[in-house]
Chain A
Amino acid sequence: MSRWIKFFIMIALGLAAGLVYAWAISPVEYTNTAPDTLRADYRCDYVLMVAEVFHSDQNIDQAARRLGILGSEPPARIASQALEYARLANFPASDLALLQSLTATLQTWQPASGGISP
């Protein structure tokens, strides 16, 4: 076997070792993440919590503020994404109604001043 072949074999072995080390032996640990990285079902559940509280207090400004921690998108969009997910996941009708109510209210809502700060 020529030296070049051996050389490239070693490179391939090194590459494989590097990937195994970085992805398997010492994988990245998810700590100190922000809520906008949450998985869709967790995001949806957070929005559902906001909807539950909104259903009780009808405080849309507070609901929008609470949704603000899920990202920089408009609260109405965050809520409608959650509603879409909830429909696909066959959430109970009562939960869908809560999400629907929150989404509908947010779609016509205008921030009182400034914007949303998480």
Chain B
Amino acid sequence: MSAKHEPSRGSWYLLTGLLIGLALGLLVAWVLAPVEYLETAPASLRPDFKDKYRGMIASAYLVTGDLGRAQSRLSLLGDVDPVQALTLQAQNTHAAGDPDGSAYALARLADALKQSPSEAGLSPTPELIASLIQSPAGGATLTPTRRPSSVLTPIYTPTPRPTRTPTPTVGAAFVAVAPESVCDLNLSEGLLQIEVKDVAGQPIPGVEIIISWEDGEEHIFTGLKPELGNGYSDFVMKPNVGYSVQLASGSQLVTNLSAPSCQTNSGESYRGGIRLLFQQP
């Protein structure tokens, strides 16, 4: 009788041993020697910290004009579409009142990347940091240097020399081309569409526009709707209100703008819009 039970007892205690070992293994890996969150990469950051990191990249780009370095830094964040991420953040930051003043920088960097032939960016590999730190802000020659960690193999990727994107020159006032009434049922009623272009006729993003009326004022920026153009911005005018428009960086003041009255084919009236262009002479 007891001999019949021997094999069965043997199997059970072996299984028990295995389970105890497994439990000990998990205990060691998850409790006694838990993984410490150290030496992480920017791609693993929490979304709000990623936004701060991205904002910092854009702010640094704005002052250095080093697009290659900005691209390398952005690739570390692992965004699928860096331009879209920048644009979206610029819009969100602007909508939130731009508390850290980075909306303009984000829009400028997004625009510069769009115009850059290597906009596709670099794949987010750890080695990129090596090329990134070896991209001198103003230098032309890259020299190999020692890295403190043997994990990273420096790949010295020459980055483009700093190329500053066009900025509205202080004091060079923009000229307003005569406002044009727009009767288009596909647009929002009373839509004031504003475009800002430089001397070469290229749209300029991030330009602050001041729209004022009798008892109010609003500041808007170009480039926050990139699908409509980098130099584009719009504002919905209220009925029977006269508006004045001016660029914060200096431009001709356009006054007495109000939504024109338009008519449909069936004779119904509706509020049309206005198209206004500021051109750098």
Contacts and interface: CB of A to CB of B under 8 A. Distances in A.
A19 B132 CA distance: 36
Interface in A23-40: 23, 28, 30-35, 37-40
Interface string A50-83: 1011011100000000100100000000000000
Contacts of A90: 145-146
B132 A17 contact: no
A60 to B, nearest CB: 15
Nearest to B151: A39
Contacts of A34: 37, 45-46, 49
B167 to A, nearest CB: 13
B136 A94 contact: yes
B149 to A, nearest CB: 7
Interface residues of B, number: 55
A41 B149 contact: yes
Contacts of A11: 17-18, 20-21, 24
B57 to A, nearest CB: 6
A18 B146 CA distance: 39
B60 A53 contact: yes
29 contacts: A3-B10, A6-B13, A6-B14, A6-B17, A10-B15, A10-B16, A10-B21, A14-B17, A14-B18, A15-B25, A16-B21, A17-B21, A18-B22, A21-B29, A22-B26, A30-B44, A31-B44, A33-B45, A34-B45, A35-B53, A39-B41, A41-B133, A42-B41, A42-B129, A45-B129, A45-B132, A66-B52, A92-B139, A94-B139
Given A18-B27, A48-B60, A91-B133, 11 more contacts: A8-B17, A10-B16, A33-B45, A35-B53, A37-B38, A38-B42, A39-B38, A39-B39, A50-B56, A89-B146, A92-B134
Interface of A: 3, 6-23, 28, 30-35, 37-42, 44-46, 48-50, 52-53, 55-57, 66, 69, 85-86, 88-92, 94-95, 98
Interface of B: 10, 13-30, 35, 37-42, 44-47, 49, 52-53, 56-57, 59-60, 63-64, 73, 76, 129, 132-134, 136-139, 145-149, 152
